[in-house]
Amino acid sequence: MQGSKLYVGNLKYSVTNDQLSEIFSAHGEVKSVNIIEGKGFGFVEMSTPEEAGKAKDALNDTDFDGRPLKIDEARPPRPRTEYRSRY
């Protein structure tokens, strides 16, 4: 893996940052957790790309709170574009 930030999808809306941090901490040091409220996904940043790779390999498609986790390397955010042209 190149980066240390992971996308974590297929989360129940009731999952907390602490719960996500707890399961990822078994695979390395968790630097940050950010669940996007009301969307069913979030991001976990590990301290190194190696730890992120270990966590992804260990947790992808595993059951968490009744749902299989979908984990992938996070992509950088796309730049915002203008939706309306200004005259």
- Per-residue 3-state assignment (H helix, E strand, C coil) for 13-71: CCCCHHHHHHHHHCCCCEEEEEEECCCCEEEEEECCHHHHHHHHHHHCCCEECCEECEE
Count the domains in the chain.
1
Domain containing 49 — which CATH number?
A: 3.30.70.330
Model confidence at 77, in pLDDT bands (50, 70, 90)? confident
Residue 86 is assigned to a structural domain of this protein: no
pLDDT digits (tens, 9 = 90+) for 10-64: 999 999 999 999 999 999 999 999 999 999 999 999 999 999 999 999 999 999 9
Buried b (16+ CB within 10 A) or exposed e, 12-33: eeebeeebbeebbeebbebeeb
Query: Is the model's pLDDT at 84 over the cut of 80?
Result: no
Structure tokens at 12: 């129940």
Q: Is residue 35 part of a domain?
A: yes
Do the domain assignments include residue 61? Answer: yes
Per-residue confidence band for 3, with pLDDT thresholds at 50, 70 and 90: confident
On whether residue 85 sits in a domain, the answer given is: no
